[in-house]
Every structure is written in C-alpha cells, then in structure tokens.
Chain A
Amino acid sequence: MKFEKDLLGIQNLDADQIHYILKKAEDMKKIIFSDCKKATNLTGKSVMTLFFENSTRTRTSFELAAKYLGAIASNMPVSSSSVKKGETLIDTTRTLNAMGNDCFIIRHENAGAPHLVAQNVDATVINAGDGMNEHPTQALLDFFTMYEKMGTVEGKKIAIIGDIYHSRVARSDTYGLLKLGAEVVMAGPRTLLPNDLESLGVKMYTDVDKAIKDADVVMPLRLQLERQKNCFFPSGYEYSKYFGVNEERMKLAKEGALIMHPGPVNRGLELQSALYAPDKSVIDEQVTNGVAVRMAVLDTFINRA
C-alpha cells in the first residue's frame, strides 16, 4: 500500500489506507500491555513532537508510541524556544530537520500549519491537530474503537454532539466515517453548528434527542467555556440541560450504544458525570487505542519506503 510522506488529514486518506492503519494498530496494541514494551520498528529514527498548543493525552500518547517502537523520541518545548524570539514556523522546522530529524508531530492553532511545514522539510509530518481543521490520529483511534466494539461501522449511526463548528475532531471523524460507510448526524446549538457539512451528506440538528435517536455511537464534544464570552451559548446550565448527553437522552439511543469522547471531559457539562465511568463509556479505551493507532501511524509513514 502506498502512502504519502505526511499524514495531514483524513481528507488525504482513502478507505483502504484507513483499514491498513487500523489493522496494523491491532498488532501494535499487543505491545502496549506486554511485559517488555519494546519493538524495533523505529530503532534509530528521530521523532520529535512540536506542540504549539497545550495537550496531555495527544502529546504523551505520541511520545510513548514512538518510544514503544524504539525511536529516539524528543519534545521541542515551544515556550522556551526561539519561537519566543520571533523565529518563524518554517525556519524552526527547517532548522530541526537539518539536525537529522525523521518525523515531526505538530499541533498548531492555525489550520494549515502542518501543511506548510510538510512542504518545507523532507521529514515526515504528522498533523496532531491544526486549528479547526483536522486531528487525523484522533479520528483513527475513534474508528479503531468503533470497529473493536461493533465489528463494523458500515451502516451504523454515529451522533456527534456539541461544538461542531470549532471541532477538528468532528471534521476528521466525519470525513473518515463517510468514507467507511457510516451514517453521521450532528447536533448542537445553532450557533455552534457549521454551515457547510450538510453538503457532505451529514444531517444537522439543533434537537439533540433527534440526533441520538437510534444512534449506535454517541460522541459529545468538549464545550469550551470561553465561547460563552463570544455569545455562542448563554451558560453551562442551559447547555447541559438542552444539549448535554445524559442517562435520560441515552435511552433514545440503540441498546448498548457506545459513549465516546475525545477528552478532556467537562464533567456534568457536555456529558453527565455518572456516564464518564469505565462501565458506562469507552473513553478510557479510546486512550489506550490512541497509543496503538499512533504506533501504527508512525510505523506506516516513517517506514513507508
């Protein structure tokens, strides 16, 4: 299977490529819980995380994934780097590339930043989240989780609830799920829904109950409280009452429907606190799968030749 130098978005992958990565992740997952977490797929390869936005799980997940595969993993701490002196993104990455780095894992607040870097370095560039655009490895771990729990996503109804407008996770998930044959519906306040995605074949609702009805997967998204200041929603109280995923609403979903969340969770806001528990949702499993999927992605792209 042929892959490009970089993983910039799910928009750039086809269904076969997605399946390839997910299959590989299945094998990688075995390493995570083995006694000796040391494979040799990336021995001697330099893998660097370059995070311009804060992150707990994505960054650590990538670092561990690289280390489990035997890579020389390092993090470039942006806040104490010459970026603070005004050094540009291209100059920063070209400089690090010149040190023999094989792979950049980049998270940036501006959509398209990883694309710019990819054009200017010969190292592999993995997009770990660029602005409101994409978060491909999050989507891949979501697909992995769905396949593992349901066996397939084809014909399944996936309901994504919340601040879709600002969500790179919602976008990446949607692009992939449509390629994989799932039915995607979205719901949230009108002010937090995008204008465009309906043209892709996604049904958009402002009534969360309608979206959750008969859904196989319910995925609330994190609500950023800062959005209240920009009049996207009036209050956490109103949001959780009319748009929150709770036990009452989940009765409308299919029996045994999965509750997923990209994390971190605002307990009691977009998701009822009691539902963020191992026996009620698969959120912790998503995290585990995240490491496996990122191991698969690093191996696939760095060793693509």
Chain B
Amino acid sequence: MTILLKNVAVVTVDNVTEAQDILITDGVITKIDANLTDSADTVLDCTGKTAFPAFFDMHTHMRDPGFTYKEDIESGTKAAMHGGFWGVAAMPNTNPVTDNVPVVEYIINKANKFGYAKVFPVAAITKGLEGKELTEIMELKAHGVVAISDDGKPVSDSNTMRQALRYADMAGMPVVCHSEDLSLVNGGVMNEGATADRLGLRGIPRAAEEAAIAREIILAKTYDVPVHITHISTKGSVDFIRFAKQQGVKVTCDTCPHYFSLTDEACEGYDTHAKMNPPLREAYDVAAMIEGLQDGTIDAIATDHAPHHFDEKIIEFDHALNGIIGLETSFAVGCTYLYKTGKLTLPKLAKLMADTPCRILNIAPAEIKVGATANITVCDLNETWVPTPENTVSKSKNSPYYGKELVGKVKIVITDGKLKLS
C-alpha cells in the first residue's frame, strides 16, 4: 500500500523545504525528494500546501469513562484526528478517576479499537483526585501512563506536591501541574480586571496562578526534580518561569491557543464560550505569551480541550462550567495569530505543536524523515475558514472561535502510516 504526496512544502523542527514529494510505503516514509517518479496506490497533489510532523496534544479531556455525554474516546480522537493530531494525553478527571490500572487499560484499548488517534493516559497524582494519598505511580507507569496530574484541580497541600514530585522523579514519571491557589480564586469566574468590573463579575487575580506556580518551581528547585506547568496564562507566570529556567530549575510549561489569541473582553455579553480556567487575561498577558513562545520560555502548545454540554455552558455566567474545546482549531489559531503575524516561523510552530509536547512526556514525536512511521499533517496555510457548531466533529460545541474567520486548515492527515483524512 503506497501513498505519494506530491509537491508539498515540508516543515521539520529545523527548516522548511519547498516542493518535495513524500513516498509512504506500507506505512513508512521511504522517500523524500523533489519530483519523485514512483507510482503509488494513492497520489495526493499537495501543491500550495505544507506538511508538518503530525501534532500531539499533551492536555486533552476525553471525558471517557464517566462523562460521555460531553465527549467520548471515539468522538474525541476523531476530533483530534481532524485537528491533525496523531495522539493526545488524556487527563484523569474521568469517572471513575484514572487512578488505577483497569481504567488506564480501558482508555488505551478503546482508542486503539477506533484507531483515529492514540490516547496516552495521564493518571492522577492523588487517589480519587482528593489531594490526600499518592496513587501507585510506579505501577501506573508500568501499565502505560505517561504523566501524572490532578488537573481540573490543583494539589493544594504543599507537602503532598513535594512528596509527589520526589516519588515521581524516582519513577521517571513527569508531573503536570494545574497550578491554582484556590483561596485566592475565592469565587472568581473571570480575570480580575476592567471587564470583570464592568460586567459585575467576581475576578480571579493573576496571583492565584502565579503564587501556585512559584510554589511548584521552588519545590522543583529545592529537590532538583523536574516539573511541568500546564496552561499558563499570565505575564507574571511567563516571567517567573523564565527566571526559574535561568536559575537552572528543571521546569517546563505549556500554554493554550486561547491564551495567545483572546483577551477577557471575549466575555463581553456574558459569553460563557469565553469562560475557562485559568481565565482569559488582558492584552499584555497575550503579548507575554507570544514573547514566551518566541524565546523558548514556553515549551509547548497544548489545547486543554475541555468539552461541555450545551446545558452546562448556556446558563448564567457564574454557573457555567469552565472549559472550551480546542483540538480542531488549535492549528488554525496558531497559524492565524503566530505564523501569519510573523511572530513565529513554521519550524518553531512545528516544534511547539508536534515535538516538545511529546518529549516532555518521553513519547517519540512524529518526524518527517525517511524510515519513520508516517505521521504527517498536511495543511493549507492560506485557506480561510470559519469554525461553526455544524462543522465541529467533537460531541460538544463550546468554542470561542465560532463565527471568527481563521486562516490555516488541516487538509490531509496520515497517522500511524494510514491515511485518515483527505
């Protein structure tokens, strides 16, 4: 079974090579060169398009088991595939919580059964996400768990985080921190700022994120262990992480497309599609995110894909659940707000979306090179499109980008050597 991609620009983490042909034989990339004359079972003309190593999302909520009315592994991996992802790391706030081997095996097997994308389970740090006792971290690692996190919730007790970081480091298990000081959140529902004041909504101070991040970093520094901080949203967080990295602290972090493209003004009109945790911030935070992505302070882009049902979002702002979907718009937002604006090069974007999300989790990243299994996402960097509930694959339709014109579309997806979308 052969696939030939013709006349495509090839992006790697190092460079862009124009007008290449890629030959895939039985799932493996066998040739990359200009003007290949090989015949193939499937030939795809990619003139004007760009091939990326397939993306990996290190922060996704599959909602399966337990909340399958929002999303399940079938619809979620299908949405991931449409977004150009070959794999995702699934967060453990499922029901039952992903804190034991049977749930881990269920998740892995279900994803493999459908074959849209691979799911790598992230297990909880504490049993039941209760923040009290550690999960069997070594045992979970032995059964395919790629990281631990209590995401959805922070680990509030600092001693618990200290023990977790040290035990996990011993086990070679990355720790992904949702860093939030709940006492500072204090009932807030959006960023503490002018928009919140104008709307009459309680604000969440930046300190709620920054104080918590500082704690993780200090623990990582004290015990010389690695820590990954997910979904950072404030300038202060970027600055502190930059400082910590300069000090030699083994900290990595990711941010989400919405934090480098939207501000809290999107909440205008009490639009709950702009409600998530941490919240959208202000223009100077967005600028800081972009600077952080440019100078390497921020290691990865993750979606924090958080599907919620209509009845959980289209209600009073105070009561709406936090979260937006993001797998299907991640590339387009990156292309629109980072590449087309001249802020990032394509190799840099590839690194943030395809490479470092894998390396942080000790997963082999997709690579466009001879001998590698074909994991390729071909995009049209110039095609404009408008996300709508109707063209959304995910079961849930909670996106802040509906009705917004974005540029950059995923056109062809080949993962695990197989053509999945064309």
Contact = CB atoms under 8 A, between A and B. Distances in A.
A97 interface: no
A7 B139 CA distance: 44
A237 interface: yes
A234 B134 contact: yes
B-side interface mostly: helix
A229 B139 contact: no
A147 interface: no
Contacts of B139: 237-238, 241
Interface string B127-158: 10000111111110000000000000000000
A231 interface: yes
Interface in A188-207: 189-191, 206
A189 B159 CA distance: 16
A189 B133 contact: no
B30 interface: no
Contacts of A228: 133
Interface residues of B, number: 17
A206 B159 CA distance: 20
B166 interface: yes
Contacts of A232: 163
From A190, A228, A232, A235, residue with most partner B Cβ within 10 Å: A190
A231 B127 CA distance: 11
Contact of A231 (B138, B159, B169): B159
Q: Which size bracket describes the interface of A in this complex?
A: 10 to 19
Contacts, number: 43
B273 to A, nearest CB: 38
A234 B133 contact: yes
Nearest to B164: A231
B160 interface: yes
Contact of A189 (B127, B132, B135, B167): B167
Given A189-B170, A232-B163, A234-B134, 11 more contacts: A191-B163, A191-B166, A228-B133, A231-B133, A231-B159, A233-B167, A234-B127, A234-B133, A234-B136, A237-B139, A238-B139
Interface of A: 189-191, 206, 228-235, 237-238, 241-242
Interface of B: 127, 132-139, 159-160, 163-164, 166-167, 169-170
29 contacts: A189-B170, A190-B169, A190-B170, A191-B163, A191-B166, A191-B167, A206-B170, A228-B133, A229-B132, A229-B133, A230-B159, A230-B163, A231-B134, A231-B159, A231-B167, A232-B163, A233-B134, A233-B167, A234-B127, A234-B135, A234-B136, A234-B167, A235-B136, A237-B139, A238-B136, A238-B139, A241-B138, A241-B139, A242-B138
